[in-house]
């Protein structure tokens, strides 16, 4: 694809995704995340031509001007949009598909343990919120979303939303996912939860009653629904602004 057509495609993809972007000229002049991608493309060419040191040097120049540190060995797809740019780090063996959006502070890094392919793979259409960390050779499936501030340490299936530290799935294929089994909690404290729930079950049995098959989290789901309805009502009165 000719260089100018590629640049135009990049700019148009920002206009599509950022409601704060008003014109092509504004995007060209004011989006360091795009400049970072362009620096990367040049340094990646050098890298592939085995000019490793010049490639690293150019990527450091790009980092100086954009605040984005992309290793020239990484493989990035088309229409990558790095919004607000500052603090994004993309490691050497990371693979990023097409139409991916990353916010400021995102790290696609290694865990510090492995060699070889040690950085994540993001499939097409993935969205990663600000200051999220995706660590190790994990795969984020197509069109999945990673919440702001999350730490992802394992694979994420396609069309899912993950949040938290460590991240867990809250939506899959548009359906809310609730954790009802403590064995599914990914957390250093999950052993304590498992032990606690086993103890409650044991105590229920000792009291002679059969554990009641409760529909899990019914009350919480209703509360959440009421809260969302209230938020929707408030939105009619309060203008939140767009495109932070």
Positions in the binding site for ligand COA (CB under 6 A)? 84, 103, 129-130, 145, 147-150, 161, 163-164, 170-171, 224, 244
CB of 158 to ligand COA, least distance (A): 15
CB of 149 to ligand COA, least distance (A): 5
Based on CB atoms, which residue is closest to ligand COA, 234 or 244? 244
Based on CB atoms, which residue is closest to ligand COA, 209 or 241? 241
Q: How far is CA 182 from CA 26, 34, 99, 168, 175, in A?
A: 50, 43, 35, 13, 20
Interior angle at CA 106, CA 116 and CA 188, nearest 5: 75
191 Cβ partners below 8 Å, 6+ apart? none
Based on CB atoms, which residue is closest to ligand COA, 112 or 175? 175
Q: How far apart are CA 156 and CA 163, in angstroms?
A: 11
At 39 the three-state DSSP class reads helix
CB of 114 to ligand COA, least distance (A): 27
Q: How far apart are CA 79 and CA 9, in angstroms?
A: 7
Based on CB atoms, which residue is closest to ligand COA, 71 or 84? 84
CB of 48 to ligand COA, least distance (A): 32
CB of 163 to ligand COA, least distance (A): 4
Based on CB atoms, which residue is closest to ligand COA, 198 or 229? 229
Contact 125, 81 (CB under 8 A): no
Q: How far apart are CA 129 and CA 120, in angstroms?
A: 15
């Amino acid at each position: 694809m000719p260089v100018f057509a590629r640049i135009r495609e990049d700019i148009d993809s920002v206009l599509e995704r950022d409601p704060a972007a008003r014109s092509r000229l504004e995007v060209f002049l004011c989006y360091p995340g795009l400049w970072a991608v362009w620096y990367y493309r040049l340094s990646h060419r050098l890298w592939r031509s085995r000019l490793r040191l010049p490639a690293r040097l150019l990527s450091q120049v790009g980092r100086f001007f954009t605040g984005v540190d992309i290793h020239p060995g990484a493989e990035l797809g088309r229409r990558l949009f790095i919004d607000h740019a500052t603090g994004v780090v993309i490691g050497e063996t990371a693979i990023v598909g097409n139409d991916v959006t990353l916010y400021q502070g995102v790290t696609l890094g290694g865990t510090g343990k492995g060699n070889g392919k040690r950085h994540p793979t993001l499939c097409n259409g993935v969205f990663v919120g600000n200051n999220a960390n995706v660590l190790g050779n994990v795969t984020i499936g197509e069109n999945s979303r990673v919440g702001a501030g999350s730490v992802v340490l394992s694979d994420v299936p396609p069309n899912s939303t993950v949040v938290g530290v460590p991240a867990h799935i809250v939506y899959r294929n548009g359906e809310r996912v609730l954790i009802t089994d403590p064995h599914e909690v990914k957390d250093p404290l999950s052993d304590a939860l498992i032990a606690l729930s086993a103890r409650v079950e044991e105590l229920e049995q000792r009291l002679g009653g059969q554990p009641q098959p409760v529909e899990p989290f019914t009350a919480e789901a209703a509360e959440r629904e009421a809260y969302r309805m209230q938020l929707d009502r408030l939105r009619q009165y309060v203008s939140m602004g767009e495109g932070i």
